[in-house]
A and B are shown apart, each in its own frame.
Chain A
Amino acid sequence: MTGAPLSLRRRLVLQLLGIAAALAILLYLTVRTVANSAAEATQDGVLGAATLAIAERLQGSETGVSLDLPYEAFSILGSISDDRIFYRVDANGETLTGYPDLPMPADEAAAVEPAFYSTTYRAAAVRVAATSRTVLVNRKPILVTVAVAQTRQGQEAIAQRTANLAAAIGLAVFAFAALLSMLTAGSVLRPINRLAEAVGRRGPHDLRAVDHPAPIELRPLIASLNGFIARLRGALSRTETFIAEAAHHIRTPLATVRTRAEIALRQSETDAARAALRAVIRAVEESSRSASQLLDHATVVYRSDRLADGPVDLAKLLHGLVRFHGPTAELRDLALELKGAESPVLVQGDRLLLESALRNLIDNAIKYSPPEGVIELGLDLRGDNVSVLVKDRGRGLGGRPADDLTRRFARGDNVGDVVGSGLGLTIVEEVAEIHGGSFRLREREGGGTCAELLLPLR
């Protein structure tokens, strides 16, 4: 997908709001139209009644048409609204009384029901009701037309009030609909959010299939997600296998090279040859170590998702490691001292990963310690946690922040000639994280490093 990131929620809310707005506008227009026509009908009714009342007062006599204009007709017209009133009474086409320039109806008005029309008079929009009566003058019928006009200010005021009311109703409906649409969007998207949260809560290496209750619409997504996770796991597994195979295939020839180099070194007579051979051995050692750590790291990544979740006795693990590393330490006259491991200390986790992490820590301590020193290993119970301490008298962190050193392939500035890949501490940190613990490196007082792996007790 390209373009601006889409938010389902925003989209849903916007669409619902759009619908709400359309409905509100429709409602507004409807209320206005209905109310306006009602107001107009009311005004027409009053105007018509006034016109008829006037027409009823028409009287014929021998001399002409007389009209006794009823006071109440005008008074009532005025009582509904203070609108201006104009009228005109024509007999036989001549204006009898009223405003002679008031526009009359185009055709002859119906006798009984008044005709209504809108026009402009004296620069004001007016509504006119007109009706006709036949009056006998000297026994001759004379057509008399009565037209009463009223300005529309009152109706406009009503229309304005109605419009305001309609607008208020429309706004209220819109506000209500907006609220509902928010709620709807929330409830529709809640399963998605929950799923996203459930997936998001996972650790960085959790590659278990997603097994989260979700609406049927989301099942294809979950199926695809699980398919993807499975493929990712497969890829990781193949990566691990590949690294293992590669390591395996490279190690035997490397061993041969190294052995031959050692033999040659033993027999070499010149310093130049010796230096060259030492370099060869160092290179072999370096590549072998890097391969190991790459493999360890791949293992950490691969195993973390299906953590062999069992009780691990850190005390026993440390004893085993001390035994294993004893000969290596001994080569440099280093002593490995283990404290606090007299009785079992159980944590929940993956033995292989924990061993891998601790092995890396001890390996580092041995590598970086000056000969004839002591490396202190310890288990320290702290409430619900246990900290595994590996302390050496080596070169410390060289003033760099510990965070730097746990990045992949990062190495201290002070490693000098010591062989290493820079992956060791990364592995330790990842293992700590997977187990819900933490890893800390700090300078020891009096020199050296204290590495602390804090793990929750079982």
Chain B
Amino acid sequence: MRRIATALAVMVLMTCPAAAFETEEEEVFAARGAEARSVSVLSTTDTDVLRPAIEAFQTAHPDTALRYVVASSQEVFAALDRDGAAFDLVISSAMDLQMKLANDGFAADYTSPQTGRLPQWARWRDQIFAFAQESVVLIASRRGLQGLPVPQTRRDLTELLRDHPEVFRGRIGTYDPRASGAGYLFATQEARQSDSFWRLAEVAGGLSPRLYSSSLDMIRDLKAGRLALAYNVLGSYAGPRLESDADGVVVEFADFTLTLLRTGFIPANAVNPEGGGAFLDFLLSAAGQALIRDRAGLPPIDEAALSARPHLRPIRLDAGLLVYLDQLKREAFLEEWSSAMSQK
């Protein structure tokens, strides 16, 4: 799946001795022309997803080299919070961790015409800016449902699971919030939004759900027929992968569908904050947003889409995100979740 597109691409884990955090990929996109500056980006988004955008950015800025480092959201957080690693732009889909980093003073103020155009819900102060809005969906396999109707709300799903335990036992997939930052964010936000989360968790918990730490794994197992349903999967991953599959169904729940914001900020200790800003501006620009939609498969920031589909609820980018990062709160939540899931 991963293409090594450029001869200069380097995949290493330990090339950067200062970085104690764990990276997954690192690729240096050499400047098209004579190199005048270099931008380093720390991201949770796979290189291939943003590769077209990076290449287009370098066409516009031929004198800029770009180092793109991919790490998990926890590692991204640790890179800044613990290691003080210097990057010019930090991109992550873990909104709560991004928020915490900014709240704790790791983000620098940045303003540009591009950031000025962002709607208020897609930014926090002049520090965190969202460049993609991704719905969190249910995916189902028609074969796996064995002719049962595709649920459209959480209540539908709860009833379906309760009424047909034989169909779903051991065939439900969802995030393990203890292992996955994204899973924890989705679970806490859902719990906050509606009590139906706990009812669903209790019912699902009795059906021996399979727990994952990655959307891609859930999609893979669904396609492989190991799962009938997968709950809380990133729509941006599921959509393209199930599009051509007649068996796969992607459901945005009508009661509400969480919408995740993929955000970026410029760290306060950036070496080249202008470079980071330039790349961020490119992602926010009309050209960048079009590339994100068409080539990366990420839905761009689109206020019209939200009003057209009122069930979409963007996760609020505000201080409330800090609450579930609280040690005690996290412990209490995970304890409650575990007890709900382990019901027999």
Residues of A within 8 A of B (CB): 66-75, 77-79, 82-86, 89, 96-98, 122-124, 153
Contact among B103, B324, B327 with A84 in the assembled complex (CB-CB below 8 Å):
B103
Contact A82 B125 (CB under 8 A): yes
A-B pairs, top 7 by smallest CB distance, nearest first, are A78-B319, A75-B320, A78-B318, A82-B125, A74-B319, A69-B329, A97-B327
Chain B proximity of A199: nearest CB distance (Å): 66
Whole-angstrom CA separation of A82 from B122 in the bound complex:
13
- Chain B, 272-330, CB within 8 A of any chain A CB: 316, 318-320, 322-324, 326-329
Contact among B192, B324, B332 with A66 in the assembled complex (CB-CB below 8 Å):
B332
Q: Which residue of B lies closest to A150 (CB)?
A: B319
Chain B proximity of A147: nearest CB distance (Å): 14
**A75, A83, A89: which has the most chain B beta carbons within 10 Å?**
A75
Whether B105 sits at the interface, judged by CB under 8 Å, is yes
Question: Which range holds the interface residue count of chain B?
Answer: 10 to 19
Contact B124 A124 (CB under 8 A): no
Chain B proximity of A57: nearest CB distance (Å): 10
- Residues of A near B319 (CB, < 8 A) are 74-75, 77-78, 83-85
Whether B163 sits at the interface, judged by CB under 8 Å, is no
Whether B104 sits at the interface, judged by CB under 8 Å, is yes
Chain B proximity of A313: nearest CB distance (Å): 92
Chain B proximity of A85: nearest CB distance (Å): 5
Q: Is the interface of B mostly helix, strand, loop or mixed?
A: helix
Residues of B within 8 A of A (CB): 102-105, 124-125, 192, 316, 318-320, 322-324, 326-329, 332
Whole-angstrom CA separation of A122 from B124 in the bound complex:
19
Chain A proximity of B83: nearest CB distance (Å): 17
Contact A69 B318 (CB under 8 A): no
**B104, B124, B328, B332: which has the most chain A beta carbons within 10 Å?**
B328
Contact B105 A74 (CB under 8 A): no
Q: Which residue of A lies closest to B107 (CB)?
A: A84
Contact B326 A69 (CB under 8 A): yes
Sample of 6 further A-B pairs with CB below 8 A, known A68-B332, A75-B323: A67-B326, A68-B329, A73-B323, A74-B322, A84-B105, A97-B328
Contact A71 B192 (CB under 8 A): yes
- Residues of A near B324 (CB, < 8 A) are 71
Whole-angstrom CA separation of A339 from B163 in the bound complex:
141
Whole-angstrom CA separation of A86 from B124 in the bound complex:
16
Chain A proximity of B69: nearest CB distance (Å): 26
- Residues of A near B322 (CB, < 8 A) are 74, 85
Chain A proximity of B321: nearest CB distance (Å): 8
In the assembled complex, 14 residue pairs joining A and B whose CB atoms fall closer than 8 Å, in A order, are A68-B329, A69-B323, A71-B324, A72-B320, A73-B323, A74-B318, A74-B319, A75-B318, A75-B320, A75-B323, A78-B319, A84-B102, A96-B328, A122-B104
User: With A84-B105, A122-B104 in contact, do A67 and B328 touch (Cβ < 8 Å)?
Assistant: yes
Contact among A70, A71, A82, A98 with B124 in the assembled complex (CB-CB below 8 Å):
A82
